[in-house]
């Protein structure tokens, strides 16, 4: 596709929306070929608008857009996958929103990121297909996105001494990896704030480092999902130096379903 043309077509996933005036919305969209775009959806908030349902948050759609100086305008939208099942379930919607918020936070306007687009699309598909595994899906997605952004967590060896982790394992938010018993006992100045990990969570981190999003460990411990999900939230907020809105909502929610 020739860049710079006033009108263009692309696939996109709606990351979030903002109200604009009485009937319009500003859409933040991650497109496959044109990166993140901000676009106006005119009249989408009107009750009579059929167009509005096609640009709801997390919707995957084919889009026809007019390129503007500061923002594009959505001229047409055709749903590929609405992910309505994800939006209709509170726990799944919060997980999907956390995925979208992370991608929105680390991407620049107009910079193509096709690998992140594919990761986000796969993450939403997995939430839809495996709702009981939402916590593991979200944590693995976050793990892979961090690696894609150049910040891969060190989870197979001690992030302080590079030695074997041993049976007792802690995660260092400052080092971005696990810390062994010896380094923790020695009070390494570089280890920073530590989070104690259960054997199941430690094993899950190791498994995540060498497997793709959408693959499952042979034995998925039910109690590992919530622990891994909570850990990745803390890791991301330490890394990004900000609190994520979706994480704040998740903390206020009742305990998630088993595996979540």
The CATH architecture to which 85-252 belongs is: Up-down Bundle (1.20)
β-pair type (169-172, 24-31): unpaired
Residues of the chain with CATH 2.40.50.140: 7-82
In total, the chain counts a number of residues equal to 260
Task: Quote the pTM value.
Answer: 0.88
Per residue in 230-251, pLDDT (tens digit) is: 899 999 999 888 888 877 777 6
DSSP symbols for 246-260: HHHHHHHSPPPPTT-
Tokens describing residue 259: 């595996």
Residue 117 in contact with residue 29, Cβ under 8 Å?
no
How does residue 24 score in pLDDT terms, banded at 50, 70 and 90?
A: confident
Output the pLDDT for position 188. Answer: 54
Torsion of CA 93, 96, 100, 102, to 10 degrees: 110
Question: Do 129 and 86 contact (CB within 8 A), yes or no?
Answer: no
**Structural class in CATH, domain 7-82:** mainly beta
Beta carbons of 134 and 91 less than 8 angstroms apart:
yes
**pLDDT (tens digit, 9 = 90+) per residue, 69-101?**
889 999 999 999 999 999 999 999 999 999 999
Q: Which part of the chain has CATH 1.20.1440.120?
A: 85-252
Residue 191, pLDDT above cutoff 80: no
H-helix or E-strand spanning residue 102? helix 90-106
Residue 50 in this model has a pLDDT that exceeds 80: no
DSSP letters of 14-67? EEEEEEETTTEEEEEEEETTTEEEEEEETTTTSTT-SSGGGG-TT-EEEEEEE-
Q: Which of the 8 DSSP states describes residue 73? A: E
Q: What is the pLDDT of residue 258?
A: 36
Matching residue, tokens 């499952």: 216
Cβ–Cβ under 8 Å, residues 20 and 127: no
Q: 7 or 122: whose pLDDT is higher?
A: 122
Please give the Cα distance from 188 to 182 (Å, whole number).
9
C-alpha separations of 36 from 109, 135, 221 in Å? 5, 26, 36
């Amino acid at each position: 596709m020739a860049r710079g043309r006033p009108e263009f077509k692309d696939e996109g996933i709606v990351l979030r929306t903002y109200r604009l005036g009485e009937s319009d919305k500003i859409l933040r969209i991650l497109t496959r070929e044109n990166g993140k775009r901000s676009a106006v959806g005119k009249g989408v908030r009107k009750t009579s608008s059929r167009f509005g349902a096609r640009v709801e948050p997390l919707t995957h759609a084919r889009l026809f857009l007019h390129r503007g100086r500061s923002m594009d305008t959505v001229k047409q939208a055709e749903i590929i996958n609405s992910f309505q099942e994800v939006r209709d379930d509170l726990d799944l919607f919060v997980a999907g929103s956390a995925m979208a918020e992370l991608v929105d936070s680390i991407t620049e306007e107009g910079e193509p990121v096709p690998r992140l687009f594919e990761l986000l699309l796969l993450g939403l598909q997995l939430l839809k297909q495996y709702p009981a595994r939402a916590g593991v899906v979200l944590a693995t997605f976050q793990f892979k996105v961090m690696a894609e952004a150049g910040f891969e967590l060190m989870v197979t060896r001690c992030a302080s001494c590079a030695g074997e982790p041993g049976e007792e394992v802690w995660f260092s938010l400052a080092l971005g990896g696990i810390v062994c018993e010896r380094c923790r006992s020695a009070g390494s100045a570089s280890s920073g704030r530590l989070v104690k990990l259960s054997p199941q969570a430690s094993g899950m981190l190791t498994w995540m480092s060498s497997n793709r999003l959408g693959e499952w460990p042979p034995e998925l411990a039910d109690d590992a999902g919530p622990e891994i999900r909570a850990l990745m939230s803390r890791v991301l907020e330490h890394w990004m130096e900000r609190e994520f809105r979706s994480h704040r909502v998740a903390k206020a929610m009742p305990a998630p379903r088993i595996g979540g």
